[in-house]
Chains A and B, each alone.
Chain A
Amino acid sequence: MDNMSATFYESKSGASEKSKIRSFFQNDNVVGYVFISPWLLGFFAFTIIPILASLFLSFTSYDLLSAPKITGLDNYIKMFTNDSKFWKSLNVTLIYVVTAVPLRLIFALAIAMIFTYRTRMEGLYRAIYYLPSLVGGSVAIAVLWKRMFGKDGILNAILSIFGVDSSINWIGNPKTSLLTLIILFVWQFGSPMLIFLAGLKQIPTSLYEAANVDGAKSYQKFFRITLPMLTPIIFFNLVMQTITAFTIFTQSFVISNGTGAPLDSLLLYSLYLYRKAFIFFDMSYGCALAWVLLLVVGITTAVLFATKKLWVYDD
């Protein structure tokens, strides 16, 4: 263990080591392709054709029921010039991403940190905290959430204990409904939490032992060791959760019964896209919407990757 972490640091500084390893293997070009071949085969077999097809369809008028007709940029022009719902859904989605993702990550990391404290109960606790994530986007969520945030829901009951007399229906009120959806996203923080946990366990104990010898305080250990060592995992969770939040569909679909009501406050981008494609039979417009989203998410992700060098430890 000690050797491993010791060499780990040296390899960071010595770039010459890397090139030495590279020279060990002459045929890396081939080996690389062998390893990525499952994905590559799948990409060509199942993914690339549908992706290109959806790009093509975005330049047509296609209603699923009859053959597509090429209409050029019509869908895109309409989207940017004459579709208030597009802007509305983009706006809702951005608010959702910007608030829900950091909250979920902070929550997940905090809980994961707490779980590194060893007790006999930890297995049980971990399971309990993970349980909400198992419910996913099941239909039961629709009822469940109304129960929590409805007019006679548990939230209002709790508020009344504190003397706040609230009779609003949190889900039905356009001002607060998105908040309930954000809470749902945060509540299901199980997957990033698990990844954080796994990441925390991968930090070599020797680092902490060394810090203990130096008499470091817990917060110092957190900021000097845990956080820097965890940055690759934080980066991963940040990228993945951002993409997930941008494309999330089921939860808002189930809670708003597929409409995005009240007043489109739950109209997340993917839900709008689904409504266009499958409810209004405008598949081509749905495809155009998807490609705009791809652009938005792609740029966001690219920016995140660009900042990687600034704060992410190691590769």
Chain B
Amino acid sequence: MTEKALRKKVAYHLVIGAFAIIMLYPILWMISASFKMNTDIFHNAASLWPSSFTLQNYYTGWKGFGGISFATFLNNSLVITLLSTIGSVIASTLVAYGFSRINFRLKKFWFACMMLTMMLPVQVIMIPQYIFFDKLKLTDTIAPLVLPQFAGRVFFIFLIMQFIGGIPKELDEAAYVDGCGRYGIFVRVIIPLIVPAIVTSTVFSFMWVWEDFFSPLLYLNAPAKYTIPLALRMFNDTSSTSNWGATMAMSCFSLVPVFILFAGFQKYLVEGIATTGLKG
């Protein structure tokens, strides 16, 4: 049995490890490119190891544009991302509970409406939405980027619904017998059981808001308010020189916060109600 277990373990590490290299190669290349001279990135593309190691890309990249450094962009991105994430996760949890556990009039209709909103490409809603926020004099503020998140995000609502669906209704019933109302059940029974779904939503929300460039592009005018993805695109102007070195360097840099969040949260992601999981 132990020999079998050992063999299994070795096989696991071999397969997963080998595959990890394939998964990682592009990322490694990106990191290596961030330390290469701008011209080397394309000239000497095949080698993972920079022929001449330079920190120049990080320096010029961090400097940003017109005296606005990446510290500003980082700060802007963090503010928008954190607010959006808090908003969308809290709202999504509430809405998901409403849709999955409570039977109310027109529920199916609203649910269908909700799913439909997800299917319309954002590019066409953006302009009418832009005009709407412009009427409210809210363009060039972060409100149009953050406010809609407080309505919840369909993806998370639907995701959390799936997890609530997996919780036996008898638990609700038992809590009811103990004197809990709908709200009590939500807080005491449901929330503790859907922590993995909530954490998953948090990570996704953070990631998706973090990398979004289209809405910030439309809504934010002053470069001092730009977010990181928007700033990253500014290194590349096809009509003149593009600073690919700086692009790579700052792309790597922009991965750091998301990666930290992921690494920090990933324990909670998978420690669900059944802590022991699948055992062979």
Contact = CB atoms under 8 A, between A and B. Distances in A.
Interface of A: 1, 4-5, 7-8, 10-11, 17-18, 20-22, 24-25, 28-43, 45-47, 49-51, 53-54, 57, 64, 113-119, 121, 123, 125-140, 143-145, 147-148, 152, 154, 157, 187, 191, 194-195, 197-205, 208, 218, 226, 232-233, 235-236, 239-240, 243, 246-247, 249-250, 257, 269-270, 273-274, 277-278, 283, 286-287, 289-291, 293-294, 297-298, 301, 314-315
B252 to A, nearest CB: 8
Contact of A24 (B23, B95, B176, B251): B176
Contacts of B24: 128, 131-132
B112 to A, nearest CB: 9
13 contacts: A11-B169, A28-B182, A114-B16, A127-B262, A137-B211, A138-B232, A194-B204, A201-B275, A232-B166, A236-B162, A240-B155, A286-B124, A293-B119
Contacts of A119: 9, 12-13
Interface in B8-47: 8-9, 12-13, 15-16, 20, 23-27, 29-30, 33, 41, 45-46
Cβ-closest 5 pairs across A and B: A42-B151, A32-B104, A35-B98, A53-B128, A201-B272
A123 B266 contact: yes
Interface of B: 8-9, 12-13, 15-16, 20, 23-27, 29-30, 33, 41, 45-46, 90-91, 94-95, 97-100, 102-105, 107, 110, 113-129, 131-132, 147-148, 150-152, 155, 157-159, 162-163, 165-166, 168-173, 176, 182-183, 186, 196-197, 200, 203-204, 207-208, 211, 213, 229, 232-233, 235-236, 238, 244, 247-248, 251, 254-255, 258-259, 262-263, 266-267, 269-280
A130 B258 CA distance: 11
Interface of A is mostly: helix
A134 B258 contact: yes
A287 B124 contact: yes
B16 A125 contact: yes
Nearest to B271: A201
B151 A273 contact: no
A314 B117 contact: no
Contacts of B200: 194-195, 198
A257 B266 CA distance: 34
B125 A134 contact: no
B277 to A, nearest CB: 5
A33 B45 CA distance: 57
